[in-house]
Amino acid sequence: MGRRSFGYIRKVGEKYYASYIGKDMHRYNGPYSFTKKITAQVWLEKERLLLESGNWKAPETRKDKKQKNIYFVDFAKEFLDNLEIRENTHYANKKNFERHIFPFFKNYKIRDISTSVVRKWYDGLPKDKLSIRNNSFSIVKRIMASASEPDDNGNSLIEKNPCLFKIKPYHSKKNLTVFSKEQLDNLYNAMPEKLQLSIYLAGILGLRVGEVVGLVRKNFLLSQKKLCVRQQALKEVGCKTALAPLKTENSRRDIPIPDSLIPLIKQHLDKWVEPEDDAMVFTKKLGRIMNGTNLNGQFKKAREKVGLPNARFHQLRHTAATNIAAVSDITTTMSILGHSSIQVAMVYQHAVDSRRVDAINKAADEIVKDKPVANKNTTNFGDMDEKEKEKVKQYLLEQLMKLG
């Protein structure tokens, strides 16, 4: 608890709670928890001014009036401003709020927002933009959760969160396009020499683009055949590119380096990286730090050269994830890729299952498509002689072995 000239502020976990002694000698608490100390201080200052002006009333007597008059947009803007998140995320939230949330809710008061109102808004969002729909819903849900959170006196702006209904989950793994070995090699050769290694770090080890450009020499422990992912390179809004914490705690991981990759890594470090432990592994001209946009720009040039105009750098991570999932369990896949959600890891497992089904169908079609059948809707595998059956089995086995 922090003692001040007026009121008290105490920190519990990551939140701050403010209170003060009123003129009636009773303690009064803030209307909700604060994510930043400064906002708790602002609330106390407003209460102090009310006391000094003689217009002060006990907070509980103001509750009904406050609930009736507070508008969603006013509460939402204060809530979003106080979130302790990266500047890029804050910018994205603000942009999303202004485009997809504010126009609908601008005339709504907090107490008037019901589940049916939220559903009406959500149903009106672009149907073909599932990412926007889910991100917008997540923002509104967090705002209304904060409004429903009771203070120390058990009071809240609304009784319950109206966003407690399920929506369609979103995964950005569009069709999970997996590069072949030949395509990976072609992309590797098409990149500038000093950036070639990035293709295999993402396409084999599954690094995110920010993790690739954030690597420094000491992250590679070649004697232990291990890559330690500890940071990423980010360009925050209005700021220069700099090293930053990883996406999640699970992103901090040690990845085994395959024997076949070690000579290429050693060659890159010897030729392109300064000897200091903190030297950047990938740089722009004059040795300046790269960000994801810089690397994506070079990747776009390479994809045109090899005839893959729609390829994205992140598909390299898809490729690695799918190949890893084909030969390991979910836990291993998650640990290598740095996933924090088993649902995300399962996306790649489903992709592997789909590839196996496609392989079996393709193999069967190649062998039995010209065979006469009793019913055109079925394949009379049982009518084949033993030699033909064995041929089918062997072909299917070979296709599955190719998939790992």
- CA distances to 357, 376, 391 from 371, rounded to whole Å, are 21, 10, 14
**pLDDT value of position 336:** 84
Domain boundaries, the chain: 2-56, 72-148, 181-310, 342-402
| Mean pLDDT, the chain, integer | 82
Dihedral Cα 182, 172, 216, 200, nearest 10 deg: -10
The one-letter amino acid code at 65 reads K
Local confidence band at 26 (pLDDT 50, 70, 90 cut-offs): confident
Does residue 2 or residue 24 have the better pLDDT? 24
**Rounded mean pLDDT, 348-377:** 52
Is the pLDDT at 19 greater than 80? The verdict is: yes
Local confidence band at 208 (pLDDT 50, 70, 90 cut-offs): very high
What CATH number does domain 181-310 carry, 1.10.443.10, 3.40.50.970, 1.10.10.10, 3.30.420.10? 1.10.443.10
Local confidence band at 176 (pLDDT 50, 70, 90 cut-offs): low
Local confidence band at 393 (pLDDT 50, 70, 90 cut-offs): low
- CA distances to 24, 29, 43 from 6, rounded to whole Å, are 15, 13, 11
Choose the most confident range, by mean pLDDT, from 66-70, 87-91, 304-308, 328-332: 304-308
pLDDT in tens, 244-300: 888 788 899 999 999 999 999 999 999 999 999 999 999 998 788 999 999 999 999
Lowest pLDDT segment from 77-81, 153-157, 278-282, 287-291: 153-157
**pLDDT value of position 113:** 95
Dihedral Cα 309, 310, 314, 320, nearest 10 deg: -80
